[in-house]
């Protein structure tokens, strides 16, 4: 996902909320599934949901708000059309 981003990456993590829904179990060699979707795209920010799945059930769910940021001016900025198109491609209802 990130390797395909248009232009220069300039995002900051503005909010992180994590719900631990059930216990995870360590099993040597087991690969866990992490499902990632975009749930909202705004003018300057977007929200990403990630779910860690084990045994077919969601164990951890995280909601992350990412804000487009101009490092030169130290302020948020509007998402470019290319960025908006990119993140909207991962948008789910």
User: Any alpha helices (H) in the chain, and if so which ranges?
Assistant: 81-88
State whether CATH 3.10.129.10 applies to domain 2-88: yes
Q: What percent of the chain has pLDDT over 70?
A: 90
Q: Can you tell me the distance from the alpha carbon of 55 to that of 25, in angstroms, rounded to the nearest whole number?
A: 10
Q: In whole angstroms, what is the distance from residue 67 CA to residue 65 CA?
A: 7
Ranges under pLDDT 70 in the chain:
1-9
Boundaries of every domain in the chain = 2-88
């Amino acid at each position: 996902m990130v390797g395909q981003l248009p232009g220069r990456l300039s995002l900051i993590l503005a909010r992180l909320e994590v719900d631990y829904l059930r216990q995870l179990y360590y099993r040597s060699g087991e690969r866990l599934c992490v499902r990632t979707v975009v749930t909202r795209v705004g003018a300057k920010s977007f929200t990403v949901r990630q779910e860690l799945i084990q045994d077919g059930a969601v164990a951890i769910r995280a909601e992350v708000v990412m804000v487009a940021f101009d490092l030169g001016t130290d302020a948020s900025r509007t998402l470019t059309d290319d960025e908006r198109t990119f993140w909207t491609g991962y948008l789910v209802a």
